[in-house]
Structure 1
């Protein structure tokens, strides 16, 4: 899989980030919340990102 960084909240690599893949999908880097109370299938997970990350991606016309 080829991955391209779209937008991030910082430049040092350990902040919430949105990536595009050559599969036509998005990858999201963020915190794994533990207190959500949801039932998530074993093959999936949740990540939490700031809404500003999505706003920035839209503003920059990346998605």
Structure 2
């Protein structure tokens, strides 16, 4: 899988996380904050081999920018 960096959180310094990547497989890879709250996880049905991360609303702009790679 090849990753193309789309955007890092401009309000997160010095780490620049969360981060959005576009793949060459027509999908996204999102780096974010690990969700560890058990009440939150209990509301989800996460199968083995999957996980979830949290990102802020301000990161949504990068999904649209990343779509331009497919055009």
Q: With structure 1 as the length reference, what TM-score do the two structures score?
A: 0.77
Q: Is the helix fraction higher in 1 or 2?
A: 2
Count of residues in correspondence between the two structures: 60
**Structure 1 runs not aligned, ≥5 long:** none
CA RMSD of aligned residues (A): 2.0
Large movers: runs of 4+ above 4 Å: 11-14
Q: Is residue 8–residue 16 contact of structure 2 (8 Å, CA) maintained in 1?
A: no
Q: With structure 2 as the length reference, what TM-score do the two structures score?
A: 0.70
Q: Which moved more, 1:3-12 or 1:44-53?
A: 3-12
